[in-house]
Structure 1
Amino acid sequence: MKLALWRDRLLQQEDLNFLLTNRIPRLTLTRLVGWYSRIESPLLTRFSIAVWRLFTDLDLSEARQQRFRSLQDCFIRELKPGARPLAAEADAILSPCDAIVGACGAVEHQGQVFQAKGFPYTVGELFGDAARAAPYRGGQFVTLRLTSSMYHRFHAPADLSLEHVTHIAGDTWNVNPIALKRVERLFCRNERAAIHARLPDGRPIALVAVAAILVASLRLHCLNLLLHVDYPGPHELPAQGEARRGEELGWFQQGSTIIVFLPPGFELAVQTGQRLRMGEVLARP
């Protein structure tokens, strides 16, 4: 208990937190942690998970397996069958992942949204294409932040027809609330992948997966491809295919952020600070 209190007080010191997680060689450290996490050693993995638990609320009780070959194997763990039941509302948009809701609300008609109070960015810049951002003006957005201890796989929030993925190379700033209040246009600076799809009625939906420090690898099943900080391209990737509601789309190789964009006609069912599980209702028509 005393250790947990010490940990929480340390991590809540905003200046120290920002210094430790951003004023360092972010890309170099991300590559180093990626290499370390792939080392297959049961002893090293058990030690790493024990240290990880000192700084997070890591809970592996829902994991399909309890023994892991590497730290990465633990990061991308699958859950036991039935651990994430889907909401019964057939026409609802579901949360694609376990997450904490960050900024959310309307996409302004100029295409502007917010990462935090007073820190706007445009959807066009985030997508890397103003034309693909246009259908979301007047719609809704939700920022879903995955902490490092959460389940890191993400799923289709509805029945989807996948169309295109745009990978945009970038930095690996931390995406925690402290950094979001200090670094302007942070999501537009970081490496990210914009997944474009259509709902059964033909309306568009987009999920933008944003990487962060130590987290710059994204696996997308529709591409059979691992996107990462050293990925050479191409960066415009057709992604034809269908995904059923709740079907796994891919995973982060640690925690990060998914920003969901919906066209006009949906009402959000969540609020800032709310903790969600994959399969719970995110928005309703």
Structure 2
Amino acid sequence: MIKYYNRKKEKYEIENIAGEKILRWTYESPVGKTFLELFIKRKVVSKLYGMYCNSKLSRKKINGFISEFNIDMSRFKNKENEYKSFNEFFYRGIEEEKLIFSKDKDIFISPADSKLLALNISSKKNTINIKGFDYSIEDLLGDGKLAKEYEGGLSLIFRLCPTDYHRFHFIDDGVCLKTKKIKGKYYSVNPIALEKVDKVFIENKREYSVFKSDNFKEIVYIEVGATCVGSIIQTYNENSKICKGEEKGYFKFGGSTVILLVKKDVITIDEDIKNQSEKGIETSVNIGERIGTIKKMHH
């Protein structure tokens, strides 16, 4: 059972996990763990499943998925029968007018529909602690110089479930630099897996880019691939003007994660998210929703 905080209803809820039985078997049983190490974390498994999800055959999964997870299709551009494959449905786009966010320059918005954990980056070791594992920012980025700029800052971890909208957006006006790709494995990013596999985010395939935000200094956007995520697709234009709310990219099938690194003393996270994160509990947030505000400096 994965408990998360629903801030709109101000109560805890239990997440409905796609493929929970298989996940538990894979990450918790001896036979499953052997399979995981031999096959599941490898690219070929994600690739084969990706091929199936891109095929017409996979269309028949769509309706069952929508009803099982109670997905509200009214926000999306296409009706359920208009998708050519499960993957096409998976990275479905939202209608422009349904993408609502505050234009206020001081408001920091969520880049995705997801479960959010806001963690302080330790200024001594430059690490974040997830599920009892210390993750070094340098290992995450593979760049010590860049990592150093985020000491004592914030890491915002947005976990996208298979049932979520799978596109991610920019949280401010600005300019985004070129994407750097880091090769890796394909472990699940579900909390069930995070408790069993040491350092999932550093092991997994990921990409990052520096976003020169107009109001929140330089933010590092990291996209982490996971089991069955064939790929991370970047759709933004490098080095050109970007508006708040604009799409940055999307994930193909699977659960995935977007991590934002924010410099020290730039934003104040909303109290409810901060309190839950301190207990190690994620908060569900929607794309464009306010999650914090700019930190006002007192002179």
The alignment status of 1:136 with 2:150, answered yes or no, reads: yes
Moved more, 86-95 or 29-38: 86-95
Q: Give aligned pairs, total.
A: 260
Distance between the aligned counterparts of 2:85 and 2:285, measured in 1?
Answer: 27
Provide the residue aligned with 2:239 in structure 1: 240
The alignment status of 1:195 with 2:197, answered yes or no, reads: no
**SS of the counterpart of 2:74?**
coil
Q: Deviations over 1:183-238 (max 9, x none)?
A: 11110000000121112158210111000000131111236xxxxxxxxxxxxxxx
**Alignment partner for residue 49 of structure 2, among 33, 40, 43?**
33
TM-aligned CA distance change 1:171 to 1:150, over 3 Å: same
TM alignment of 1:85-124, pairs within 5 A:
85-102=100-117, 104-109=118-123, 110-116=125-131, 118-124=132-138
Contact 2:77 2:92 in 1 (8 A): yes
Q: What runs of 5+ residues in structure 2 fail to find an aligned partner?
A: 1-15, 295-299
Aligned identity (percent) is 24
Deviation of 1:245 (Å): 0.4
Contact 1:105 1:268 in 2 (8 A): no
Contact 1:246 1:279 in 2 (8 A): yes
Deviation of 1:12 (Å): 6.8
Deviation of 1:61 (Å): 3.0
Contact 1:191 1:216 in 2 (8 A): no
Moved more, 187-196 or 93-102: 93-102
Provide the residue aligned with 1:63 in structure 2: 76
Provide the residue aligned with 2:93 in structure 1: 78
So what's the TM-score if we normalise by structure 2? 0.79
TM-aligned CA distance change 1:52 to 1:18, over 3 Å: farther
The alignment status of 1:283 with 2:292, answered yes or no, reads: yes
The alignment status of 1:208 with 2:222, answered yes or no, reads: yes
Moved more, 47-56 or 29-38: 47-56
Contact 1:194 1:207 in 2 (8 A): yes
Moved more, 194-203 or 207-216: 194-203
**SS of the counterpart of 2:48?**
helix
Distance between the aligned counterparts of 1:145 and 1:247, measured in 2?
Answer: 20
Contact 2:52 2:58 in 1 (8 A): no
**Alignment partner for residue 274 of structure 1, among 265, 283, 286?**
283
**SS of the counterpart of 1:30?**
helix
Deviation of 1:80 (Å): 2.2
Runs of 4+ in structure 1 over 6 Å off: 7-10
Distance between the aligned counterparts of 2:21 and 2:282, measured in 1?
Answer: 16
**SS of the counterpart of 1:61?**
helix
Q: What runs of 5+ residues in structure 1 fail to find an aligned partner?
A: 1-6, 224-238
